[in-house]
Amino acid sequence: MDYDRLLAERSWRVEASGIRRIFELAKSLPDPIDLSIGQPDFDVPEPIKAAAQAAIAAGYNGYTLTQGIPELRERLLADVQRRFPHQQRQVLITSGTSGGIFLAFLALVNPGDEVITTDPYFVAYPNHVALVGGRLVLVDTYPDFQLDPDRLAAAISPRTKAIVLSTPANPTGVALDAQRARGLVEVAQRHNLVVISDEIYRGFYYEGEPVSPAQFGDNVLVVEGFGKTYGMTGWRLGWVHGPARLIEEMAKLQQFTYVCAPSIAQWAALTALETDTSAIRDTYRRKRDLMLAGLRDCYELVVPQGAFYLFPKAPGGDATAFVSRAIQNRLLIIPGKVFSSRDTHFRLSYAAPDALLQRGIDVLRRLAGQQA
């Protein structure tokens, strides 16, 4: 079969994940120091596991309403109303946060339309936009990875439909402050654009209270999830809240794509919402500080306010070459070109046991010394 002829053009627009290639490499290396994958290293808390098992035993194993089970939607909507009391926001339960983001692009973006994001960016954004026939426009944020609303405004064209970004961000860990979040929303409002705020790492926010662009306007679709916060990434459970008209269209599209979010995970999420994760957040703050103490004197890096990543500058400025040397030392990290138009930095995840983090620090310090 000539599959090159048969495959749809959209499949050629999507690039294989550079992160997954590193993930596969980890399986072949003896005793690797794997700081590559953005997945929590803690297990799902026992009460949440028990709730999932109880849901299975109770027969909650079929399809749910496309929008999600009413019990969970009501709980989440109450949380939204508490955080954004002067807005009329609606809730949709999605099959993961990636499912929510993709549904938003399906609802908003026509072929040829533009979506703006920051550079660096989450690796899925370019591919999601490509799948719907859109064009991703990058706004440079180097060297501090902070969004400049004026630079954002300059990137807007008549074809722009939306602005998407993550806060706290993957891969940098940088979070929007109130001034920049307000500026982002005001720029979007002036140009009749939707802001898609990916807040999957809201549970890992280390500096004060999390700031959401939705605090400053109702033209913001917020994407959240359970996977990172509760260690249940494989359960594929996310949720979105935003303007009713957009949520309505996303729900319609979900009906004919994902159908609904996993039913068992939805019932277990009711228990997750009652689970205190502050100790987990404090543990990851400590891991961040461990990495900073070990690396900041020999690497140029920005202190992350959240998530569980560092995005240091590679010695010598060639991240791919540097990552190759790291792999030769059994250290798995991700070159910056996976997340950026530049290849000057590398991403490491500190969602790993302390002993592994210390081994990673030792290798990185040794490599920095070799470069010098």
Count the Cβ atoms, other than its own, within 10 Å of residue 286: 13
**Is the pTM higher than 0.85?**
yes
Q: Does the structure show a pLDDT above 70 at 21?
A: no
> For residue 189, which amino acid is it?
Q
Q: Does the structure show a pLDDT above 50 at 212?
A: yes
3-state secondary structure of 30: coil
Confidence of residue 6 (pLDDT cuts 50, 70, 90): confident
pLDDT digit string, tens, across residues 71-118: 999 999 999 999 999 899 999 999 999 999 999 999 999 999 999 999
Angstrom distance (rounded) from CA 241 to CA 142 = 30
The answer to whether 303 and 86 have CB atoms below 8 angstroms apart is: no
Burial of 291 (0-12, 13-18, 19+ CB in 10 A): buried
Where does residue 212 fall: left (phi above 0), alpha (psi -120 to 50 degrees), or beta otherwise? beta
pLDDT digit string, tens, across residues 299-316: 999 999 999 999 999 999
Angstrom distance (rounded) from CA 162 to CA 183 = 15
Q: Which domains does the chain have, with CATH numbers?
A: 3-44+277-371 (3.90.1150.10), 62-272 (3.40.640.10)
Angstrom distance (rounded) from CA 180 to CA 284 = 25
Q: Does the structure show a pLDDT above 90 at 229?
A: yes
Q: Does the structure show a pLDDT above 90 at 291?
A: yes
* Secondary element (H or E) of residue 27: helix 18-28
In a 13 Å sphere around the CA of 199, the CA atoms on its Cβ side amount to: 22
Q: What is the pLDDT of residue 15?
A: 76
Q: What is the pLDDT of residue 235?
A: 95
Q: Please measure the distance between the N-terminal and C-terminal CA atoms of the chain and give it in whole angstroms.
A: 53
pLDDT above 90 covers a percentage of the chain that reads 89
Angle CA(124)–CA(125)–CA(128) in degrees, nearest 5? 80
Quote the mean pLDDT of the chain: 94
Arithmetic mean of pLDDT, 23-39: 80
Extract the tokens encoding 16. 């294989």
Query: Helical H runs in 158-259?
Result: 178-190, 227-230, 244-255
pLDDT digit string, tens, across residues 120-163: 999 999 999 999 999 999 999 999 999 999 999 999 999 999 99
Count the Cβ atoms, other than its own, within 10 Å of residue 11: 11
Q: What is the pLDDT of residue 372?
A: 47
Q: What is the pLDDT of residue 18?
A: 60
- List the helix and strand counts (H, then E) for the chain: 15, 12
